[in-house]
Structure 1
């Protein structure tokens, strides 16, 4: 017996540097779409782990992805708020989710470096990762922003005409 048919889930990837507005957007989308939001920074803080411990972050992100796949199989909308600095990382998750039958959105947020730094300096609160201006500049130097060709491979956000890109 197969049970009721489920609609495929929807995966939403939130991409951008610190201070770009990823958490703000992810929280809004989660509320609007009744989605599950998975944010490694908040999980690391809750678990009392160093947010700059790359090995712990890698293990956690892999575990959150396993959880996200289970939710997608159940037809849930899942928001991954990882930052997704590398094109290959975005592509790997896009292909894996599509193989499951899920739609995949990419929301890319950007702002000039000085504005990102202003926002990082102004933010406070639980789950925020402390970073320096030098760390932000280093991240900006290695960040691979999605281009139009990459954005075209993603599904359109629900009720929108094109992949999401905010300044």
Structure 2
């Protein structure tokens, strides 16, 4: 069986880390999680420039794993259609499958989960979540048709 790229997408607090941990345990896939790297390096999770560099490094490693037949979980949020499609296309070019795990939750649930984990300083507020909801590009039928498998939660 070929390697699989699992794209775990959604806003903060929808359960991406939980879903990625389940996939990791079930499949043995290598998990690419920028928040964990930022925390390990004691970097500000709001530092978008460093986050982008970490995601670039993670994808460079992820491609090498996929080439070697090892499945990879990308847990970046991947709010944009073009970003998701590029990842899926590159994975398929390497002979891997591509799955999209699209997660959503009500704003109040997201805020409660974010508050419980207590990672963000300054804290995320409900108005942030509402703003992000207007920015994320939910996958449409034409995009969904391009993945080998789609899981919606």
TM-score class, shorter-chain normalisation, is: over 0.9
Richer in helix (by share): 2
Choose which of 55, 60, 69 in structure 2 pairs with 1:66: 60
SS of 1:72's partner is helix
The higher radius of gyration belongs to: 1
Pairwise CA distance, 1:123: 2.1
Choose which of 113, 117, 121 in structure 2 pairs with 1:123: 117
CA contact (8 A) 1:15 1:84 kept: yes
- Structure-1 residue corresponding to 2:26: 32
- Structure-2 residue corresponding to 1:164: 151
Alignment of 1:44-55 (within 5 A): 44-55=38-49
Unpaired segments ≥5 residues, structure 2: none
Q: Does 1:132 align with 2:124?
A: yes
TM-score (norm 2): 0.93
Partners of 2:101 and 2:114 in 1: CA distance: 20
- Structure-2 residue corresponding to 1:82: 76
- Structure-1 residue corresponding to 2:89: 95
Partners of 2:80 and 2:71 in 1: CA distance: 23
Q: Does 1:104 align with 2:98?
A: yes
TM-score (norm 1): 0.85
CA contact (8 A) 1:97 1:104 kept: yes
SS of 2:13's partner is coil
CA contact (8 A) 1:15 1:22 kept: yes
What is the aligned residue count? 151
Choose which of 113, 138, 151 in structure 1 pairs with 2:144: 151
Pairwise CA distance, 1:135: 2.5
Partners of 1:122 and 1:148 in 2: CA distance: 34
